[in-house]
Amino acid sequence: MSDKIIRCGYRIVLPLLLITSTILLCTGNLPPQKPMILGRSRAFVKDTVVVGIYSVDPEDNVITYYIDWGDTTKPGWSPFFQSGETIARSHIYVDTGIYFIRAKARDIDRAESGWSDTFRLIIEPDTAQSILSKKEEN
């Protein structure tokens, strides 16, 4: 008996009976869950903002993340990470304002999640950092 695995099924060859059949076991590649974003909701201009991003792939494939930081920087795909691992990603904002961060996940077989819920981040001026520092000293 000679068996051959096909990408989307299983082929059975029975040489004695001269029968070849293919049994399809296709479930397709399911996308990862939409990511969750965790982190502080406030930061200061030119501070390094760190957020945690988390998603799970149903087939436990490795995942890459596409992060839109809500400013003028061009988003891109991250390196691959284990499914279910919370990863830390950082960014620096150069202008004050309210930013909405979002992310999506893609597995190694290119199945892509929908966008995460937006994560609201307020970036305050440097002067606020000085005021807080002075208050902490007193």
Model pLDDT for residues 29-84, shown as the tens digit of each residue: 999 999 999 999 999 999 999 999 999 999 999 999 999 999 999 989 999 999 99
pTM for this entry? 0.72
User: Where are the chain's structural domains?
Assistant: 1-28, 36-126
**In whole angstroms, what is the distance from residue 12 CA to residue 54 CA?**
40
Judge whether residue 130 has pLDDT over 60.
no
Q: What is the dihedral of CA 59, 60, 61, 66, to 10 degrees?
A: 110
- When pLDDT is cut at 50, 70 and 90, the band that residue 9 belongs to is very low
Contact 33, 113 (CB under 8 A): yes
* Predicted pLDDT of residue 96: 97
Mean pLDDT of 100-118: 97
Whether the pLDDT of residue 8 is over 70: the answer is no
Distances (CA, A) of 49 to 14, 38, 73: 61, 11, 14
If one looks up domain 36-126 in CATH, what number appears? 2.60.40.10
Burial of 62 (0-12, 13-18, 19+ CB in 10 A): middle
Task: Express as a percent the part of the chain with pLDDT over 70.
Answer: 72
Cα–Cα distance measured from residue 99 to residue 20, given in angstroms and rounded to the nearest whole number: 59
